[in-house]
Amino acid sequence: MAAMAYIALRGAALAAIVALIHWVYRWRHPKCAGTLPPGSMGIPIIGETLQFFAPNPTCGLSPFVRDRVKRYGSMFKTSIVGRPVVVSADPDVNHYVFQNEGKLFESWYPDTFTEIFGRDNVGSLHGFIYKYLKTLVLRLYGQENLKAVLLAETDAACRGSLAAWAAQPCVDIKDGLSTMIFDLTAKKLIGYEPTKSSESLRENFTAFIRGLISFPLNIPGTAYHECMEGRKKAMKVLKGMMQERMADPERKCEDFFDHVIQELRREKPLLTETIALDLMFVLLFASFETTALALTLGVKLLTENPRVVDALTEEHEAIVRNREDPDAAITWAEYKSMTFTAQVIMEIVRLANIVPGIFRKALQDVEIKGYTVPAGWGIMVCPPAVHLNPDIYEDPLAFNPWRWQGSRLTISQSEKNPHRNMDTDLVFAEQDKPEITGGTKHFMAFGGGLRFCVGTDLTKVLMATFIHNLVTKYRWKTVKGGNIVRTPGLGFPDGFDIQLFPKN
């Protein structure tokens, strides 16, 4: 009897081992009707997630992408947070993916990202509802409102913040910029005033941001757990605001949230409360954090490149000299005349690479350059691999705004029609230079295709007005910090403290 039990136990153990080996084999060799790109799927379930999130203390391409491109080529397969993904560092493939959204691909992010931003966030929506939300957001960030309202308000915010910082021994420029931009955009989005709330909404977003791009381990003490807790608290504040406004039908439209509430009150609303709340959450995050990071890196790059500061100062002091009142606010005509500033902004965002990857999902088996992306697989377009490619940009890690000289560069990409697909505003005139446009093959700092970032023009306004006020009114020096780390998002782990000195 005992012998039979032993034999049965051994048989069960052997079957389990065979099943495990088969499972591991299937994990490492996924089924595909065609030819998968080369690469490794990593450890079962975990995949290559740990390598993807490994810190990288440079502006260069992450070792995760760099090493695999060197080994496998510009397309490779991997697995991140439990999902099979094809990574593309190929400009042609990236362009093809963007141009075929809604046909062969759709917007998609791994489940952990969806948990962070909400299952009904704008990045997860498709078709008519996405276009509807995009049109809604353009009421705030579109050309007309930028000219009429946001340029002046941005200029005033930059002046006030810089003056306040100059009165202090030093300021952490990342923290200062985040506060300035959050207060500005949160007021436009939700009428938010920090003094009116017992719970600081920005503090909740700060907690959220610290774990946004971190290993997705949701247990107390981890950055990801802190991120999820920050989201919960921020959503609680937003839900309270929504309930308060929904209960007041006589309330006038004072901010963007009020317009969203009006949409919810329609007889047959296209929005749900969940979609509305996730929309507000994503807009609050995207409106301040990405621009603050880019500008912080911009100040660091300017500090290290005085020749660029001299050229900027020359351009902006000429603008001031041509005014009747030297201390007047920036006009739209002045803003549009900032040619070298536009080059500096493009170079900053090229090197900043705030978004390390843009995700899409294959709706069917897709053949690209001899490889097959199976239906249901993710594909990660990798902007840094393009922006830092020496075959496209000479000496790509150098901060060289003059590389953009001679381009048909417009500082505002939606001047004629804010609703069109913005992809033809920035093209080098010389035939021997690559096509570098806002959202095409060689420049993807603001996304591409149908999902080109609707906040692009606001970002450029913020950066241009900040640079104008900084170089015309102040000198500065580094006090401490300024080291960067990418995990894979951009961060300043030890801050970046500078001291400002009024020029007059």
**CA 317 to chain CA centroid, nearest Å:** 32
C-alpha closest to that of 413 among 465, 466, 353, 455: 455
* Amino acid at the residue 185: T
Provide the CATH number for the domain around residue 495.
1.10.630.10
* Amino acid at the residue 134: K
Higher model confidence: residue 18 or residue 71?
71
Q: List for the chain the helix, strand, coil content (%; round to 5).
A: 50, 10, 35
Q: Is residue 61 part of a domain?
A: no
Q: CA gyration radius for the chain?
A: 25
Please state, in angstroms and rounded to a whole number, the distance separating the CA atoms of residues 282 and 289. Answer: 11
- Tell me which residue has tokens 């961060």: 491
Q: Is residue 229 part of a domain?
A: yes
Helix ranges, 253-360 (H): 256-264, 273-304, 306-321, 332-336, 339-352
Q: Is omega for the bond preceding 488 within 30 degrees of 0, making it cis?
A: yes
* pLDDT above 70 (res 5): no
What is the DSSP annotation of 85-114?
Answer: EEEE--HHHHHHHHHTBTTTEEE---HHHH
> Once rounded to an integer, what is the mean pLDDT over residues 392-415?
75
Domain of 344 in residue numbering reads as: 120-353+388-405+444-502
C-alpha closest to that of 213 among 441, 53, 350, 419: 53
Please state, in angstroms and rounded to a whole number, the distance separating the CA atoms of residues 433 and 423. Answer: 17
Do 242 and 321 touch, CB atoms closer than 8 A?
no
Q: What is the pLDDT of residues 57-91, one digit of tens each?
A: 888 899 999 999 999 999 999 998 888 999 999 99
Higher model confidence: residue 276 or residue 399?
399
Q: Exposed (0-12), middle (13-18) or buried (19+): which is 347, by Cβ within 10 Å?
A: buried
Helix, strand, or coil (residue 323): coil
Do 263 and 270 touch, CB atoms closer than 8 A?
yes
Do 313 and 341 touch, CB atoms closer than 8 A?
no
Q: Is residue 284 part of a domain?
A: yes
**Average pLDDT value for the chain:** 82
Angle of the 256-264 helix axis to the 273-304 helix axis, nearest 10: 160
Q: Is residue 132 part of a domain?
A: yes
Helix, strand, or coil (residue 430): coil
Q: Is residue 93 part of a domain?
A: no
Please state, in angstroms and rounded to a whole number, the distance separating the CA atoms of residues 503 and 309. Answer: 14
Please state, in angstroms and rounded to a whole number, the distance separating the CA atoms of residues 159 and 169. Answer: 18
Helix, strand, or coil (residue 404): helix
> Once rounded to an integer, what is the mean pLDDT over residues 245-254?
84
Q: What is the pLDDT of residues 108-137, one digit of tens each?
A: 877 666 666 666 555 555 566 667 777 777
Do 78 and 47 touch, CB atoms closer than 8 A?
yes
Between strands 366-368 and 371-373, the pairing is antiparallel
What are the distances in angstroms from CA 174 to CA 162, 296, 475? 13, 5, 17
Between strands 378-381 and 83-88, the pairing is parallel
Number of H helices, E strands in the chain: 18, 12
| DSSP-derived secondary structure letter, 489 | S
For residue 11, the surrounding DSSP H or E stretch is: helix 2-28
> Once rounded to an integer, what is the mean pLDDT over residues 16-43?
76
> How many C-alpha atoms does 447 have within 13 Å on its Cβ side?
17
Q: Is residue 431 part of a domain?
A: no
Q: Is residue 17 part of a domain?
A: no
453 assigned ligand-binding residue: yes
* pLDDT above 70 (res 20): no
Q: What is the pLDDT of residues 155-192, one digit of tens each?
A: 999 999 999 999 999 999 999 999 999 889 888 888 87
Beta bridge mates, 86: 77, 379
Q: Exposed (0-12), middle (13-18) or buried (19+): which is 54, by Cβ within 10 Å?
A: middle
Q: Exposed (0-12), middle (13-18) or buried (19+): which is 490, by Cβ within 10 Å?
A: buried
Q: Is residue 256 part of a domain?
A: yes
Do 443 and 162 touch, CB atoms closer than 8 A?
no
- Tell me which residue has tokens 């005349």: 337
pLDDT of residue 273: 84
Please state, in angstroms and rounded to a whole number, the distance separating the CA atoms of residues 433 and 404. Answer: 10
Q: What is the pLDDT of residues 335-370, one digit of tens each?
A: 999 999 999 999 999 999 988 888 999 999 999 999
- Tell me the pTM: 0.85
Confidence of residue 252 (pLDDT cuts 50, 70, 90): confident
Q: Residues with Cβ < 8 Å from 356, sequence gap 6 or more?
A: 62, 213, 382, 383, 384, 486, 488, 489
Please state, in angstroms and rounded to a whole number, the distance separating the CA atoms of residues 231 and 178. Answer: 17
Domain count, the chain: 1
**Vertex 153, ends 152 and 155: CA angle to 5°?**
65
> In the numeric block, which tokens belong to residue 474?
């102040």
Do 110 and 126 touch, CB atoms closer than 8 A?
no
pLDDT of residue 433: 37
Higher model confidence: residue 228 or residue 418?
228
**Vertex 139, ends 138 and 144: CA angle to 5°?**
95
In this structure, what is the dihedral angle of CA atoms 42, 48, 49, 55, given to the nearest 10 degrees?
150
